[in-house]
């Protein structure tokens, strides 16, 4: 069976400087599977999500590779068709909740618009679904909250509104970009359980961007470790936590705090590991430009 999302040999760079942002990325994501995408800040995690959803910034160009969504070759489709396919089958939980919401509109319509416009639901049905989902993401008093504006919600409430809104239209693929960073751990736990449950029930493919390996171990089936736009390890969660293969992945795991023991917590990834992975990437780049 082919995966719902297939990314093949995808490379991207900045138009003006030629600086490479993604380096021959391969990712497979079948329906019903949760794949974690981890790596340090600036590694290109959000960029991969944006490439899949067709919202790369104008300054970034794809130089090679393919993205298949449900078997359709996204990069070679007519733009209008591509937008329709992406709109109907995917959703994004964005990294920056406040800017993703329209500040001058109430919360309610921001969730129901998609249902009415994309699925053709009646306003009443969409509203009932929105209230139900807000309740499921543990928003207190949903009837009240749908009448509020984004600035009247706390950071974690905004993030939960966006999670509810992503699941509302029952997409086949969700790109969740750091979806729980603004949540305290108790709410995070409830929300991650809910995400797993909704995802399993609907067979959603979930690309889960996070820097938190603790979260990966609880909700993902497989993961890709990214460094400087290159996938340095692609593995299952069980194999990764038993024994990461790449030295960079191993260092990342070692640097993740375990329990709440301050002594074990938060060390930077050692310099020599970073130097080694940078050298590996430079060598791969050199080989790439020779053949290209």
Ligand X SMILES: Nc1ncnc2c1ncn2[C@@H]1O[C@H](COP(=O)(O)OP(=O)(O)OP(=O)(O)O)[C@@H](O)[C@H]1O
Binding residues for Mg ion, rule: CB under 5 A, are 46, 95, 154-155
d(CA 245, CA 162): 35
Q: Which 47-106 positions form the footprint of ligand X (CB under 6 A)? A: 47, 57, 59, 95
CB of 187 to ligand X, least distance (A): 8
CB of 93 to another protein, least distance (A): 13
CB of 242 to another protein, least distance (A): 9
Residue 21 interacts with which of ligand X, another protein, Mg ion, none, CB < 5 to 8 Å by class: ligand X
The site for ligand X, by CB under 6 A, has a size of: 22
**Strands of 5-14's sheet, edge to edge?**
20-29, 5-14, 60-69, 72-73
Residue 213 interacts with which of Mg ion, ligand X, another protein, none, CB < 5 to 8 Å by class: another protein
Among 10, 51, 153, 198, the residue binding ligand X under the rule CB under 6 A is: 153
d(CA 255, CA 212): 11
Contact set with another protein (CB under 8 A): 38-42, 45-46, 57, 59, 95-99, 140, 144-145, 147-148, 152, 154-157, 160, 177-178, 181-189, 211-218, 237-238, 241, 252-253, 255-262, 265-269
Q: Which 195-214 positions form the footprint of ligand X (CB under 6 A)? A: 211
When asked if residue 44 is in the footprint of ligand X (CB under 6 A), the reply is yes
When asked if residue 46 is in the footprint of ligand X (CB under 6 A), the reply is yes
44 or 171, CB closer to Mg ion?
Answer: 44
Among 23, 45, 82, 127, the residue binding ligand X under the rule CB under 6 A is: 45
CB of 129 to another protein, least distance (A): 20
Q: CB-hemisphere CA count at 13 Å for 183?
A: 25
Cβ atoms of 176 and 100 closer than 8 Å = no
Residue 91 interacts with which of Mg ion, another protein, ligand X, none, CB < 5 to 8 Å by class: none
CB of 131 to ligand X, least distance (A): 17
When asked if residue 7 is in the footprint of ligand X (CB under 6 A), the reply is no
d(CA 66, CA 260): 42
Footprint on this chain of ligand X (rule: CB under 6 A): 14, 21, 39, 41-47, 57, 59, 95, 152-157, 182, 184, 211
């Amino acid at each position: 069976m082919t995966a719902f999302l297939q990314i093949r040999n995808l490379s991207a760079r900045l138009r003006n400087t030629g600086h490479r942002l993604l380096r021959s990325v391969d990712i497979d994501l079948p329906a019903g599977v949760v794949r974690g995408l981890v790596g340090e800040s600036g590694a290109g995690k959000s960029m991969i999500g944006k490439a899949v959803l067709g919202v790369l910034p104008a300054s970034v160009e794809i130089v090679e590779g393919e993205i298949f969504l449900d078997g359709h070759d996204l990069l070679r489709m007519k733009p209008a068709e591509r937008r329709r396919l992406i709109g109907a089958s995917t959703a994004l939980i964005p990294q920056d909740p406040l800017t993703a919401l329209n500040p001058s509109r109430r919360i309610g319509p921001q969730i129901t618009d998609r249902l009415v416009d994309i699925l053709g639901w009646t306003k009443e049905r969409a509203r009932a679904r929105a209230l139900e989902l807000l309740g499921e993401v543990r928003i207190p008093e949903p009837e009240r909250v749908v009448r509020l504006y984004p600035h009247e919600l706390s950071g974690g409430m905004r993030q939960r509104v966006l999670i509810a809104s992503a699941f509302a239209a029952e997409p086949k693929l969700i790109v969740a970009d750091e979806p729980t960073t603004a949540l305290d751990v108790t709410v995070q736990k409830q929300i991650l359980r809910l995400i797993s449950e909704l995802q399993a029930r609907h067979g959603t493919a979930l690309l889960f961007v996070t820097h938190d390996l603790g979260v990966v171990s609880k909700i993902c089936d497989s993961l890709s470790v990214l460094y400087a736009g290159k996938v340095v390890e692609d593995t299952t969660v069980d194999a990764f936590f038993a024994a990461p293969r790449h030295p960079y992945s191993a260092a990342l795991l070692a640097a993740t705090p375990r329990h709440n023991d301050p002594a074990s917590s938060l060390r930077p990834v050692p310099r020599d590991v970073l130097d080694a992975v940078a050298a590996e990437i430079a060598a791969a780049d050199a080989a790439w430009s020779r053949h290209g």
